[in-house]
Chains A and B, each alone.
Chain A
Amino acid sequence: MFRYLVRRTLWAIVLFLVIMFVTFVIFFMAPNNPARAVCGGDQARPECLVLATEKLGLDKPIYIQYSRFIGRLLPVSRPVSFQGGVHLRQPHFKTPSLGTAFATSEELNQTIIKAAPVTASLVIGGAVLWMLIGLTVGIFSALKPRSLLDRGAMVFVLIGVSAHPVWIGLILSYFFGVKWDITPIANYSYFFGAPADSGLPGGPWQWFYHMILPWCTFALLFSALYVRMIRANVMETLNEDFVRTARAKGAPERRVLISHVLRNALLPVVTMLGMDIGVALGGAIFTEGIFQLPGLGRTAILAINNQDLATVQAVVVFATVAILIFNLVVDLLYAWIDPRIRLT
C-alpha cells in the first residue's frame, strides 16, 4: 500500500513534468509574440517590445524558461549563487508560485484561487445532479426493460449525447432566463459573498439560483452517458449467478437489488465518476463560456486570446494536478470497495 502510493506519486511527478513541457512547446511553436500583445498589439512601440521581451524572459531559450517555471513551482528555493565554494544563500522553503500573468502582471496563484471554486461548484453540483438522474433512471430502466420509462430514457440519452452543450445552454438560457424569467440568464454569484469590486450578488441562495442552469447544461451530457452505463451494468449484473443465489436464499427483491446487484454494478461507475470529475475540474469551457462563469475554463480562453502563456500554464498545472489526484483517489477507493483488488 505504502509502496504503491510512493510509486504512484513518483509516476505522477514525471507525468506532470512532461505535460508542462508539452504545453510550453506548443505555445512556442505557435506563430505569435506575447510581448506584442502586452504592448498593445500592432501599435506597439519598439522600446516597449524590448522591455517586455526582457521582463517576460522571452529572450531566453525555451529550456531556461521551462526550468525557471519549474523552479518557481518547487516548494524549495535553490541556492542563488556560488562563489569560492560557498553558498551565499542556503536552500529554504517557500510557497510554490505559478508566476505572474503576462498581460496584467497579476499573481497567478490569486487568479487560480479565485477561479477554481467557480469551476468546482459547477462540476461538483453538476456531478451530484447527473448521478441523481443517472442512478434513478438507469436503475429503473434496467429493472423494466422495454417499458415506457426505458424507451423514454433512451430518447433522453440520444438527445443528451447528440446535442452540443453550447446549444443546450443557449436554449435553456433563452427559455428559462429570457422568456419565462425563472432563472438568471448568466453570471456567477459567490457562495461566501462576492468580492467587493465585482458588483455581483452573493450568498448561498444567490449562488444556488445562479448555478441551476449551468448545472443542468453541464449535467445533461454526463447524465445521458451515465444512464446508459448504469442501465447496462445493472442489467448485466441481474443475470449473474450470485443474484440467483441471493434469491434462492429467500432475500426480498429490494435487498437483492441494493446489497447484491448495485454494489457490483456500480464498481465501474466509481472509476468513471472520479476520472470525469478530475477532467472537468480543468475547466468546463463551453458551460462557463455561455453562462459567463469566471471559472478556469473561461480564464484559459481569455488567456489564449491574450497570448498569455503564464496564465494558460497555470490553468494546465491546476487541471493536471486535479486529474492526477482524482485518479489516485479513485484507485484507493476502488481497492476499498472491491475486495478482489489489491494495490501493489
Chain B
Amino acid sequence: MALLEVTDLRTSFHTEDGVVTAVDGVSFSIEKGQTLGIVGESGCGKSVTCLTIMGLNPKRNTVSSGTAMWKGKNLIGAKPKELREIRGDEMSMIFQDPMTSLNPVHSIGKQLIEAVQLHRDVTTRVARARALELLKAVGIPRAENRIDDYPHQFSGGMRQRVMIAMALVNDPDLLIADEPTTALDVTTQAQILNLMKRLQQEFGSAILMITHDLGVIAETADDVLVMYAAKVVEKANVDDLFSRPQHPYTWGLMGSLPRLDADVERLTQIPGQPPSLLRPPSGCRFHPRCPYVMDVCKSKVPELEPAQHDPKHEQACFLDPQTKDREAAKLLAATMAEAG
C-alpha cells in the first residue's frame, strides 16, 4: 500500500473576482522512502496541492474535495485536531523562504523543542537533547553553542538547515519540501539537496519535492509529476521523463533550461504567459502556448493516459505517439549535441 494516495484532489479559493480552482483533479501516490517531484511554473498549483494535504489552506475561503489517504485515513475534511496530530509528527513540511519561516523572537532551540514537545510527552531536557542531535545531523557547526541563538544570527542556508532539522525532529514518514532551495544561492542549493538525500537514507522518510527547477528534479526525484494550470499534464519515472518526455509543455520546460556550454544570446522560452486560473482556456489548458496545437485541443480536455512505450508513463496530450517520440528524440539529440 502506498504511503500517501491522493485521488482527484481539487482545491478552490473564493476570491472577490470569482472562484479560482488552483488544484484541479490531481492524483498521485508516494511509496515509503521514495521521492516524488512536482514540477511546474509559479502559480500552477503545486504548493497549494501540498498545503491542501497538510490542511494549511486558509479555512475561510477554501473548498477542497477528493481524497488523500494517509495510513487509512482521509486527510481531506479530517478534523483539525486529527490533522494537527499528524502535522509535524508523521508528516512535516519545509518552506521556500528560510529567512521568514522561523519566528524571529524565539531561539532556534526553543522552536525545535516546541516541535518535539507538541507531539512527544518528554521533558525539556530530553527534547533539547533531541534538538541538538538534529542540529548536528543537518550540519550546523558548533551546534551546542548555537542552539540558543536566534534566527537572525544564521545565514539563509543555515536557517534552511534549521528548518530541515525542525521538520525531521519527530522522524516523519513524509517530508514535504516546498521549493526548499529556491531562495538560496547555487552552492548552498547543492549542499541542501545533498543533505536532504543523505537524511532521507538515514531517516527513511519519503519526500514530496516541489520545485520549478528540473535540475532539482533530476537530482532528487524517483517519480515526477509535471503540472500546468492546476492540472497534471505528465507523470513518469524520472529517467523515462528525461529520456522520452511526452508532453509539449515538458519539452518547453526542458528546452528552456540554461546551459553553460551553449553559446546563445537569449534563453529559449515557452511563448506567452501561464493562463489565469480564474478563467482557464477551453480544452487543453496549454493550447494557447502550444506550438503543436490542433483543432481538437481547443475544444476537448485531454485526460491522463498511458503512453505507448510504457503504461506507467502517463501524459495528457492529443498528439500522435510518433510525433511525440520524434520530438522527444530531437530534444534529446539537441541536448546531447550541446553536451558535446
* B118 with A242: CB separation less than 8 A: no
**B interface SS class:** loop
Query: Is A337 on the interface with B (CB-CB < 8 A)?
Result: yes
Residues of B within 8 A of A240 (CB): 100
Closest to B102 in A: A242
Q: How far does the alpha carbon of A62 sit from the alpha carbon of B88 in the complex, in Å? A: 72
Residues of B within 8 A of A264 (CB): 103-105
In the complex with contacts A252-B84, A340-B152, A245-B102 CB distance below 8 A: yes
In the complex with contacts A249-B118, A250-B118, A242-B89 CB distance below 8 A: no
Query: Is B54 on the interface with A (CB-CB < 8 A)?
Result: yes
Contact residue range for chain B? 20 to 34
- Chain A nearest CB from B191 CB (Å) reads 21
Residues of A within 8 A of B150 (CB): 339-340
Within 8 A of B (CB), among A231-277: 240-242, 244-253, 255, 259-260, 263-264, 267
* A248 with B93: CB separation less than 8 A: yes
- Chain A nearest CB from B50 CB (Å) reads 10
- Chain B nearest CB from A208 CB (Å) reads 36
In the complex with contacts A241-B95, A250-B89, A263-B84 CB distance below 8 A: no
Residues of A within 8 A of B101 (CB): 241-242, 244-245
Query: Is A338 on the interface with B (CB-CB < 8 A)?
Result: yes
Query: Is B34 on the interface with A (CB-CB < 8 A)?
Result: no
Residues of B within 8 A of A267 (CB): 105
Q: How far does the alpha carbon of A303 sit from the alpha carbon of B164 in the complex, in Å? A: 67
Residue-wise interface mask of A (323-343) relative to B, using a CB-CB cutoff of 8 A (1 in contact, 0 not): 000000000000001111000
Q: How far does the alpha carbon of A241 sit from the alpha carbon of B100 in the complex, in Å? A: 6
Query: Is B298 on the interface with A (CB-CB < 8 A)?
Result: no
Residues of B within 8 A of A244 (CB): 56, 95, 101
**Can you sample 29 A-B contacts with CB below 8 Å?**
A240-B100, A241-B97, A241-B101, A244-B56, A244-B95, A245-B101, A245-B102, A245-B163, A245-B166, A246-B103, A248-B54, A248-B87, A249-B87, A249-B88, A250-B85, A250-B88, A250-B89, A251-B88, A251-B114, A251-B118, A255-B118, A259-B106, A263-B103, A337-B105, A338-B105, A339-B152, A340-B104, A340-B150, A340-B152
